Amino acid sequence: MLVSFLGSLPLGTLNIAAMQISITDGVLAAMLFSAGSLLAEIVYVRISLVAMDWIRKQEKILKALEWVTFFIVLALAIASFYAAMHPSVNKNVLLDSPMPKFLLGLTMSAVNPVQIPFWFGWSTVLFTKKILLPKKNHYNIYICGIGIGTFIGNCVFIFGGLLIANKISNNQDILSWVIGGIFALTALIQLFRILRKKDPIHKMVKEKEAASTPE
């Protein structure tokens, strides 16, 4: 729970999206979005616990998801900048899609493979130290902790976003510029990691090589 909470605090696509949804559509919509993204994360973690070797081999799929994530974040940035330049548009076009917020969060989280190496690495460490054992009850408690930690972390952004919005209620365009800038920076970092081979695939390959190297 602690690792999940701290891991959800750095600015990212999903927590910033949840914050923007809370501002434009309310807390309930943001909660549903977070619940959808959380479900995808839990499924990824559960699969990674029992299929680590298989996941390592899916380089092409993960590479494609890396590019999909980049274009989604870029589109979110453009939509936020558009809203900032057009005061009559107070919502992000993509986040205001007719798709139910739960499904929107599930979809955006499912195509975001950044969480795979994060939990892959932590699970490996916990397995190595015998803290996490290959038992069903261990897996269930571990996943529950992850879910609670991520949800609390998202709540920080959801309610923090509302607080900020209330403070600058007459300057919503400023908030749109800020959120657009965060999305744009996230897109640039994502592109940099892909081009510099510092993406999730590269990390997992390195981990595999390190694990197979005799001491």
pLDDT, mean over the chain: 76
Work out the pLDDT band at 34, boundaries 50, 70, 90.
Answer: very high
pLDDT of residue 213: 47
Work out the pLDDT band at 169, boundaries 50, 70, 90.
Answer: low
Rounded CA-CA distance 16/9 in Å is 10
Task: Answer yes or no: is pLDDT of 31 > 90.
Answer: yes
What is the percentage of the chain residues whose pLDDT exceeds 90? Answer: 12
pTM score of the predicted model:
0.67
User: Span 176-200, mean pLDDT?
Assistant: 73
pLDDT of residue 186: 76
pLDDT of residue 212: 44
Taking Cα atoms as reference points, which of 171, 22, 39 lies closest to residue 102?
A: 39
CA dist list (Å): 190 to 52, 121, 135, 186, 196: 24, 19, 35, 6, 10
Work out the pLDDT band at 32, boundaries 50, 70, 90.
Answer: very high
